[in-house]
């Protein structure tokens, strides 16, 4: 079978140390992935850029790191226990589990948020028109009717000898914002914010997704970066617009080509929401626009539900109106793994240079996993190797640096281009005499001689930080 575009990315990510399939020696686990050295460096850089813009550079957003386990009632109050599910069908021939709403999308039918009865009616209507939904895996049209499939991942906590009871059931959080709602009162009492203000956190979330092969776009364990903004109801329209612009600008600032992202406006809204837009990215590897980030209004649904189920007073004193109010909320929510995929997809270029192909990841320097690589011209000349090691050690105090003395210089350039390293520095025989090195730029491949004493300053100017 011909390799698909996505297969090309999956094998590139494995070979270049970005992403590995989890538990591979045991046959793997579907929709679970591990991040290798370059993958975690890239992921941390994306996370740091998000945190910097959402928390560090602002005085109205506070950070939080809440636990994955929360009181089980949290998820009853939020509605997740009863209704966080997807419509699942199964192929009777190859037993692949399928998302009915995704299959319907291929016929131009939007079944988002519809009841299972409506989903099955859409399918029956198609059949009546002689149109058959097919299993994408084996092509069979013999599929079960759609049924509700809960996305909640359940576990138990307690001592190993405890009986497993209803009370000991806990859920691995399906989204990180639950922790924000539960800690909102502690944040108010400890940080004394005035409305409007936000709480942001980055952390793991778990969903028992019905899997179509989408690499790290849709995984069962993933990280979210969420910010919940608490405000007076009358401020919602203006602040919502402000956050939409702010999040859009974040992508452009990190080098995103504006023609590759777009807004998707949700028509069917959750009953508590007045506005919901997603930012979508046009992926060459997934073949089309895919949701990356959601920016949604939530009214006072979350705080009123948690107040009702816990009995806690979740109102806060508002200086402006001199009254106690239950704030409204709007959120920005983005998957970190989806951003890794998006930035890889965006940066990935295959170029023709001197009749040879060069794969190069053109990351913004802030995102590049490694900022500079240091090479000795020859690996069997100890004076060059020692000098290059010493230089790498010195620069490591400032930046993420890679030392490489494998293969010839051409191969080393190719390896660094493949992981998107903006600058490569070669120590040669002249270096020993003049204390100068050759620095090569990833995108232009231009080279210049730079004095070692000027290197930190030079790197700062080239990298921009
Ligand atoms: P989708 O429609 O793709 O299932 P969603 O609308 O259910 O996503 P939200 O619940 O709004 O997603 O979650 C917010 C963000 O979290 C998404 O925009 C996405 O970036 C990320 N996310 C959600 N589910 C997953 C997943 N299974 N794997 C990776 N990222 C995810």
**Residue (of 401, 104, 420) closest to 254 by Cα position:** 420
Please name the residue whose Cα sits nearest to atom 19 of ligand 1: 335
- By the 10 Å C-beta count (0-12 exposed, 13-18 middle, 19+ buried), 260 is classed as middle
Domain C-terminal end among 310, 345, 380: 345
pLDDT, residue 161, reads 59
Based on the fold, state whether residues 280 and 337 are members of the same structural domain.
Answer: yes
Would you report the helix, strand and coil content of the chain in percent, each value rounded to 5? 35, 30, 35
Based on the fold, state whether residues 139 and 225 are members of the same structural domain.
Answer: no
Contact 56, 121 (CB under 8 A): no
Cα–ligand 1 centroid distance for 433 (angstroms): 56
Based on the fold, state whether residues 328 and 385 are members of the same structural domain.
Answer: no
Based on the fold, state whether residues 99 and 126 are members of the same structural domain.
Answer: yes
Residues with CB under 6 A from ligand 1: 175, 207, 209, 218-219, 222, 224, 291-294, 333-335, 337-338
Based on the fold, state whether residues 324 and 429 are members of the same structural domain.
Answer: no
Please name the residue whose Cα sits nearest to atom 10 of ligand 1: 175
How far apart are alpha carbons 41 and 385 in whole angstroms? 25
Is 358 inside any structural domain? no
Q: Token digits for 450?
A: 């730079």
Peptide bond before residue 196 is cis, with ω within 30 degrees of 0 = yes
pLDDT, residue 166, reads 61
Tokens 């499939």 correspond to what residue?
Answer: 149
How far apart are alpha carbons 75 and 54 in whole angstroms? 26
- 3-state secondary structure (DSSP) of residue 131: coil
Q: Token digits for 410?
A: 């051409």
Find all residues with CB under 8 Å of 163, minimum gap 6, and list them: none
Please name the residue whose Cα sits nearest to atom 22 of ligand 1: 335
Strands 372-376 and 401-403 turn out to be parallel
Is 28 inside any structural domain? yes
Domain C-terminal end among 131, 148, 165: 148
Cα–ligand 1 centroid distance for 244 (angstroms): 18
Contact 66, 203 (CB under 8 A): yes
Is 353 inside any structural domain? no
CB atoms within 10 A of CB 378: 16
**Residue (of 357, 353, 366) closest to 420 by Cα position:** 366
Q: Which domain holds residue 141?
A: 85-148
pLDDT tens-place values along the chain, 465 residues long: 456 899 999 999 999 999 999 999 999 999 999 999 999 999 999 999 999 999 999 999 999 999 999 999 999 999 999 989 999 999 999 999 999 999 999 899 999 888 999 999 999 999 999 998 999 889 999 999 999 999 999 998 876 555 656 667 899 999 999 999 999 999 999 999 999 999 999 999 999 998 778 999 999 999 999 999 999 999 999 999 999 999 999 999 999 999 999 999 999 898 889 999 999 999 999 999 999 999 999 999 999 999 999 999 999 999 999 999 999 999 999 999 999 999 999 999 999 998 899 999 999 999 999 999 999 999 999 999 999 999 999 999 999 999 999 999 999 999 999 999 999 999 999 999 999 999 999 999 999 999 999 999 999 999 999
Please name the residue whose Cα sits nearest to atom 6 of ligand 1: 294
379's enclosing H/E stretch is: none
pLDDT, residue 167, reads 63
Please give the distance of CA 197 from its chain centroid, rounded to a whole number: 24
Cα–ligand 1 centroid distance for 166 (angstroms): 28
The CATH number that applies at residue 119 is: 3.30.40.230
Is 53 inside any structural domain? yes
**Residue (of 286, 235, 236, 289) closest to 261 by Cα position:** 289
Based on the fold, state whether residues 183 and 279 are members of the same structural domain.
Answer: yes
Is 236 inside any structural domain? yes
C-alpha triplet 332, 246, 335: angle, nearest 5°: 35
Is 157 inside any structural domain? no
- By the 10 Å C-beta count (0-12 exposed, 13-18 middle, 19+ buried), 296 is classed as buried
The CATH number that applies at residue 379 is: 3.40.50.800
Contact 346, 257 (CB under 8 A): yes
Contact 143, 132 (CB under 8 A): no
Based on the fold, state whether residues 188 and 309 are members of the same structural domain.
Answer: yes
Domain C-terminal end among 148, 165, 195: 148
Contact 195, 320 (CB under 8 A): yes
Q: Token digits for 77?
A: 């109050």
Based on the fold, state whether residues 93 and 118 are members of the same structural domain.
Answer: yes
Based on the fold, state whether residues 275 and 415 are members of the same structural domain.
Answer: no
The CATH number that applies at residue 30 is: 3.30.930.10
Please name the residue whose Cα sits nearest to atom 20 of ligand 1: 335
**Residue (of 413, 402, 401, 424) closest to 351 by Cα position:** 413
Find all residues with CB under 8 Å of 62, minimum gap 6, and list them: 55, 187, 191, 193, 197, 198, 199, 200
Based on the fold, state whether residues 255 and 279 are members of the same structural domain.
Answer: yes
**Residue (of 76, 319, 75, 362) closest to 205 by Cα position:** 75
Tokens 């929360």 correspond to what residue?
Answer: 70
Is 253 inside any structural domain? yes
Cα separation values, 419 from 64, 310, 349, 422, 439, Å: 32, 49, 11, 9, 17
Based on the fold, state whether residues 104 and 234 are members of the same structural domain.
Answer: no
Is 363 inside any structural domain? no
**Residue (of 265, 254, 206) closest to 367 by Cα position:** 254
pLDDT, residue 2, reads 55
Based on the fold, state whether residues 433 and 288 are members of the same structural domain.
Answer: no
Q: What is the pTM of this model?
A: 0.94
pLDDT, residue 165, reads 63
Number of structural domains (the chain) is 3
Cα–ligand 1 centroid distance for 293 (angstroms): 8
Cα–ligand 1 centroid distance for 333 (angstroms): 8
Residue-level length of the chain: 465
């Amino acid at each position: 079978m011909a390799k698909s575009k996505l297969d090309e990315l999956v094998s590139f990510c494995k070979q270049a140390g970005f992403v590995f399939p989890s538990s591979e020696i045991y046959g793997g686990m579907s929709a679970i992935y591990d991040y290798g050295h370059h993958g975690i460096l890239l992921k941390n850089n994306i996370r740091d850029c998000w945190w910097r813009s959402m928390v560090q550079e602002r005085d109205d957003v506070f950070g939080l790191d809440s636990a994955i386990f929360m009181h089980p009632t949290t998820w009853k109050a939020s509605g997740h226990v009863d209704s966080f599910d997807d419509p699942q069908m199964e192929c009777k021939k190859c037993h692949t589990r399928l998302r009915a709403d995704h299959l319907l999308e291929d016929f131009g039918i939007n079944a988002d948020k519809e009841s299972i009865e409506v989903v099955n009616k859409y399918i029956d209507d198609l059949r009546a028109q002689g149109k058959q939904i097919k299993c994408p895996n084996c092509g069979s049209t013999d599929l079960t009717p759609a049924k509700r499939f809960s996305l909640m991942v359940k576990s138990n906590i307690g001592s190993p000898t405890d009986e497993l009871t209803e009370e000991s059931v806990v859920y691995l959080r399906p989204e990180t914002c639950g922790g924000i709602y539960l800690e909102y009162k502690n944040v108010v009492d400890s940080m004394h914010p005035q409305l409007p203000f936000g709480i942001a956190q980055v952390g793991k979330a778990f969903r028992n997704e019905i899997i179509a092969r989408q690499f790290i776009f849709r995984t069962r364990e993933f990280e979210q970066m969420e910010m919940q903004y608490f405000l007076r109801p009358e401020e919602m329209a203006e602040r919502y617009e402000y956050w939409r612009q702010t999040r859009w600008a974040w992508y452009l600032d990190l080098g995103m080509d504006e023609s590759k992202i777009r807004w998707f406006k949700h028509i069917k809204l959750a009953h508590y929401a007045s506005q919901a837009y997603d930012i979508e990215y046009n992926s060459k590897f997934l073949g089309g626009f895919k949701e990356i980030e959601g920016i949604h209004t939530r009214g006072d649904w979350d705080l009123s539900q948690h107040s009702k189920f816990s009995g806690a007073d979740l109102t806060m004193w508002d200086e402006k109106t001199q009254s106690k109010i239950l704030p409204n909320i709007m959120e920005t929510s983005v998957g970190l793994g989806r951003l890794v995929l998006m930035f890889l997809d965006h940066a990935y270029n295959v170029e023709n240079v001197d009749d040879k192909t060069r794969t190069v990841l053109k990351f913004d320097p802030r995102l590049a996993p490694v900022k500079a690589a240091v090479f000795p011209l020859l690996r069997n000349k100890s004076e060059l190797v020692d000098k290059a090691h010493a230089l790498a050690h010195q620069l490591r105090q400032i930046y993420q640096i890679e030392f490489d003395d494998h293969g010839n210089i051409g191969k080393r350039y190719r390896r660094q281009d493949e992981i998107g390293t903006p600058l490569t520095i070669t120590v040669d025989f002249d270096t020993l005499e003049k204390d100068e090195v050759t620095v090569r730029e990833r995108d232009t491949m231009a080279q210049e001689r730079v004095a070692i004493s000027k290197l930190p300053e030079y790197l700062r100017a080239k990298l921009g930080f």
